[in-house]
Structure 1
């Protein structure tokens, strides 16, 4: 009987640890999404691992106005340590009056050393869209 109780307790603790990691994921992913939504790009960069090299054009990002950040799809891989997410981001580029959108494919992983979820895929690719916008006559 003691073995059965011990096994049940171990299973419960294992489930709680899994739920705690998922709660951490939600906290990190939502914090990052809020930073992007409120144009806090330097704060959003704090979720990245590795840090962006070269550094983003902070001035162009500061002039970019995000109007919507909408997660479309999320999948946690079987290991429970990697999550992919697709997000639609609507924004107004610097000097423009027309709203644009992009699809951001994100890859998150759980960093055991830091005990937190980090974004591996980098900041949204506003710069590619901005470069196309700036070249348009």
Structure 2
């Protein structure tokens, strides 16, 4: 009986570990889709919620900088090849975002190099790299 029980326990543990990985992967997909939706609709205040609350508190974005985001409408959000794993709890993603200035109607593209990290305590994925840089500086 013991010979059967040990392999059964090992298989169960491996399966549970796989479930945790699948859950984390599903959570990442849900998080990336929700963040993309916020940015596509130009809701950068909502997009702030994807940054770790501790990081937001330690490094708040000035109101003037947040106001700059209101000068643009997002005309395209292209995730390219999607996220690339960078270790067990981190992914990177390069996104092309087309922005239209609401005052001049000029369109330009910014490249957003995103880093997402999984917080094991809160069981959430957080945007570590911050909101996209729309300043136009290289």
Coarse TM-score class (shorter-chain normalised): 0.7 to 0.9
- What does residue 76 of structure 1 align with? 85
Question: Which residues in structure 2 correspond to 1:74-113 (within 5 Å)?
Answer: 74-78=83-87, 80-113=88-121
Residue 24 of structure 1 pairs with residue 27 of structure 2: yes
Normalising to structure 2: TM-score of the pair? 0.85
CA distance in 2: counterparts of 1:16 and 1:54, whole angstroms: 37
How many residue pairs get aligned? The number is 129
Give per-residue Cα distances to partners, 1:12-66, cap 9 Å, x unaligned: 1110110001111111111111100001110000111212533252332123100
Confirm or deny: 8 A CA contact 1:60 1:94 kept in the other structure.
Answer: no
CA distance in 1: counterparts of 2:94 and 2:34, whole angstroms: 16
Confirm or deny: 8 A CA contact 1:37 1:69 kept in the other structure.
Answer: yes
Give per-residue Cα distances to partners, 1:109-137, cap 9 Å, x unaligned: 011222100001010111x22x79xxxxx
- What does residue 15 of structure 1 align with? 18
Residue 67 of structure 1 pairs with residue 70 of structure 2: no
Q: Which runs of 5+ in 1 are unaligned?
A: 133-137
Q: Which runs of 5+ in 2 are unaligned?
A: none
**3-state SS in 2 of match to 1:122:** coil
Query: How large is the RMSD of aligned CA atoms in angstroms?
Result: 1.8
Q: How far is the alpha carbon of 1:106 from its aligned partner? A: 0.3
Confirm or deny: 8 A CA contact 1:67 1:90 kept in the other structure.
Answer: yes
User: Of 33, 56, 61, which aligns to 1:54?
Assistant: 61
